[in-house]
Amino acid sequence: MNLDARLPHLFRTEYRKIVSVLCRTFGLKDVETAEDIASETFLTAAQSWGIEGMPPNPTAWLYTVARNKASNHLKRSGIYSKQVMPEYSRQYNSPAEFKDDLSNEFFEDSQLRLMFALCHPSVPAEMQVSMCLRLLCGFGVGEIADAFMTDKENISKRLLRAKERLRNLNVSLEIPPTDQLHARIGPVLTTIYLLFNEGYYSNSGDQVLRRDLCLEAIRLNTMLIEHDVTNVPQANALMALMCFHFSRFDSRMGVEGEVILYDDQDVSAWNADWVSRGGFFLQRSRQGDSITSFHLEAAIAYHHAVAEPDKWNNILHLYNQLLQINPSPVVAMNRAYALYKVAGPEDALAALEDVSLSDSHLYHALLGQLWSSRDDDRARDHFLQAIAIARSPALKVALQKKLDQL
């Protein structure tokens, strides 16, 4: 892998780790300093590696440079004191000692601490998720804006307000005790789910599918379920959900880069190993006393990932339950598709009468599908709207094929 490909990959995987470690050292009051140092580290890498070539161990190189920049910042700021620095200076006194801190356990613990600090109950949920996507997932402002279906300016303001709120609260970086976990883990799981969706249904750039983001979401969730305190049923349900979806990842893209919609996918290409893995976590998720949206969505994803004669009746039944605990327009839209598969387009159109998702290409694509057997002109209008809204060229091609079939 050349430098142009390797450096963005390292940024995606290591930026968040550097930020997590620096936040653990500085505290959340200086989160912007941690971001600046992490960004400067990658800028230095781009300049140095472009001239001298990539070092044998680029990850260790990045952390050594980040450590040096952090140390220089502390010295310049006049806070290099016995109160702040004893442990830091001991851990990062030399590159040789710094290597000891490259263990997965150290970085996972740092990231878990930062996850729960960012998801403090006193911070609004949308701010929590935005900050996690920025600091723990390395998302750019544009990518976060796409995830929330808003513009960059709104996200920039949201991030600034979140940082100010965290500074005022003086939140400590620690994994919450068991009695506080329920209030804190929801936004963490939502963040991970948004990250997975950005890879599975990407709205940014030319790529519809991004395997690296899906695997990153699975990695973050793995940290939760491998920790004694955070190994809760809903985290296992989310893991099952992602595994079931990921089992169909390769079947969603054709050899020429075109998107293959669900009804046209090759069932034999679905990955049985990921389905089996999802089944394992779905079974573990049943150990709790309550059913969450993640439980029901995981069960729906299971039926999507297996070939069975009565799958759509099962899926519709689960969507009926999901709509009761999560009455959102998106859930109602997905339920309408399941209803279409069970009862036909008329019932599905009736179910969509009170649903409005005019900014969603999926909504218009579904309406185009439902009207295609009754009114070609209305179907054509909705497919044209779906094509206009879709951002990915590959997705536009798939929708154009649906339009051409009229």
Long-range contacts, 38-42 (Cβ 8 Å, 24+): 38/66, 39/15, 40/69, 41/65, 41/66, 41/69, 42/7, 42/10, 42/11, 42/15
Buried b (16+ CB within 10 A) or exposed e, 319-335: beebeeeeeeeebbbbb
Instruction: Map tokens 């935005």 to a residue.
Output: 130
Q: What is the pLDDT of residue 371?
A: 96
Beta-bridged to residue 253, according to DSSP, are 259
- pLDDT for res 344: 96
> Cα-flanking dihedrals φ and ψ of residue 396, to 5°?
-60, -40
**18 vs 147: CA distance, rounded Å:** 24
Which pLDDT belongs to residue 147? Answer: 67
Give the pLDDT score at 101. 55
Between the alpha carbon of residue 197 and those of residues 106, 215, 259, the distances in Å are 27, 11, 16
Q: Return the pLDDT at 243.
A: 97
Tell me the CA distances in angstroms from 23 to 147, 172, 397, one per residue in order.
25, 10, 44
Q: Which residues of the chain have pLDDT under 70?
A: 1-3, 77-102, 147, 149, 202-209, 255-258
Tell me the backbone φ, ψ of residue 80, rounded to 5 degrees.
-80, 80
pTM of the model: 0.79
pLDDT at 278: 97
Q: Which H/E stretch holds residue 179? A: helix 178-200
pLDDT at 331 (0 to 100) = 95
Which residue type occupies 270?
Answer: W
Write down the pLDDT at residue 256: 67
Tell me the H-state helices in 257-392.
272-285, 293-305, 311-325, 329-343, 345-351, 361-371, 376-389
* pLDDT of amino acid 88: 45
What is the C-alpha separation between 108 and 243, in angstroms, rounded? 21
